[in-house]
Amino acid sequence: MKDGILKAMTSDGKILVVIATTTHLVEDARKRHGLSFTATAALGRALTAGVLLAPVLCREGQVALRFDGNGPLGKVFVDASPKGTVRGYVENPQVELPLNSLGNFDVGGAIGPDGTLQVTLDNGTGRCYVSTVELVSGEVGEDVNRYLVYSDQAGSIVVVGAHLSKNGVEAAGGLIVRLLPDHDEETICQIENNITTFGSFTFLMRRGMGLEGMLKRILTGSDVLMLTEEKPISFACKCSKERFTEALKIFPKSEILSMAEEDGQAEGRCHYCNEYYHIGKDRLLDLAGGAI
């Protein structure tokens, strides 16, 4: 099953749902960063949350998430666009913890229950809006849900997850359910009961169920109106060798010459995608001519 995202609402206009499968992009992130099982589960949830939030919060620009907890994983960074691209990393990708009391990856312990989630919304105009909320548990879904309730003063349900085996990521994805004006408690209780009854999101995925099928399962009891066709999503970074080269131009001429003469090259790594860039001696000497 390819990664994708779908937006729908109930025909009575009371519930909006965004649902996505992110298996391949989370596996891509795992390989890029050499993530442990726990780190994969944590970053996978955060990447999925970013993918889901982007089309909900903005039409252009991007949404950035920073989980800053007191756990050994350190900070978790993600940014995503409504175009279906997302990237992210964790500070300590090799952190591994025992399974928690429920037999799941201890994402809450890895990120830490104490700290903050910072959400930065750039709507494409160059002006950013920053909101910060305290972490609820470090489990990602609950923390993103708290942000949505805080920002909109409206109820929501956030489900994100990743199922891993020794071979890698077998299923990852999630959904955001947002309560629109005039919603009623009966409807939201029905959805919560549906989610509980049908099992975990990744369980449905592993059974081969597609996005539309899962959506209709979750919204059983309501008529569903599809707002978009299924759109592809992927792990994608904005870095490039050209950007790295441009960044070197801010260094004084003496430092660039030192790189050229002492090291024979300049090397840089993108935190978000772990791509390495090398600039050779001749190019450094050219840059030194136009440096500060």
- Give the pLDDT score at 231: 95
pLDDT confidence bin for 199, thresholds 50/70/90: low
pLDDT in tens, 206-216: 888 889 988 88
CA 153 to chain centre: 23
Enumerate residues 6+ apart whose C-beta is below 8 A from 267: 276, 277, 278, 279
| pLDDT, average across residues 233-262 | 89
Residues written for the chain = 292
User: Dihedral sign, CA of 200, 194, 20, 185?
Assistant: negative
CB of 78 closer than 8 Å to CB of 86: yes
- Model confidence band, residue 263 (pLDDT cutoffs 50, 70, 90): confident
Question: What interhelical angle do 23-33 and 37-57 show, nearest 10?
Answer: 130
Is 4-235 a CATH 3.55.30.10 domain?
Answer: yes
Share of the chain above pLDDT 90, in %: 58
Cα angle 54, 56, 61 (rounded to 5 degrees) comes to 40
| Cα 52 from Cα 162, distance rounded (Å) | 15
Q: What is the Cα–Cα distance from 277 to 97, expressed in whole angstroms?
A: 32
Instruction: Give domain limits for the chain.
Output: 4-235, 241-288
Q: Among 18-27, 76-85, 129-138, 190-199, where is mean pLDDT lowest?
A: 190-199
Whole-number pLDDT of residue 232: 96
Q: Give the model's confidence band at 19: pLDDT under 50 very low, under 70 low, under 90 confident, else very high.
A: very high
The architecture in CATH of the region 241-288 reads Alpha-Beta Complex (3.90)
| 61-75, 218-232, 249-263: which is most confident | 61-75
Q: What is the pLDDT of residues 67-110, one digit of tens each?
A: 999 999 999 999 999 999 999 999 999 999 999 998 999 999 99
Q: Please give the residue that has the higher pLDDT: either 289 or 216.
A: 216
Report the chain's mean pLDDT, rounded to a whole number. Answer: 90
Q: What average pLDDT score do residues 190-217 get? A: 82
Handedness of CA 55, 81, 42, 173 (dihedral sign): positive
Q: Hey, how many other C-beta atoms are within 10 angstroms of the C-beta on 148?
A: 23
Higher-scoring residue by pLDDT: 28, 196 = 28
What does the pLDDT read at residue 290? 59
Query: Does 291 score more than 60 pLDDT?
Result: no
Question: Taking every pair of C-alpha atoms in the chain, what is the biggest distance, in angstroms?
Answer: 71
Confidence of residue 220 (pLDDT cuts 50, 70, 90): confident
Pairing between β-strand 265-269 and β-strand 276-280 as defined by DSSP bridges: antiparallel
- Buried b / exposed e over 78-112, threshold 16 CB at 10 Å, is bbbbbbbbbbbbbeebebebeeeeeeebbbbbbbb
Q: Does position 283 have pLDDT exceeding 80, yes or no?
A: yes
217 burial class (0-12, 13-18, 19+ CB within 10 angstroms)? middle
Q: What's the mean pLDDT in 127-141?
A: 94
Mean pLDDT for 137-156 is 90
pLDDT at residue 21 above 80?
Answer: yes
Q: What is the pTM of this model?
A: 0.91
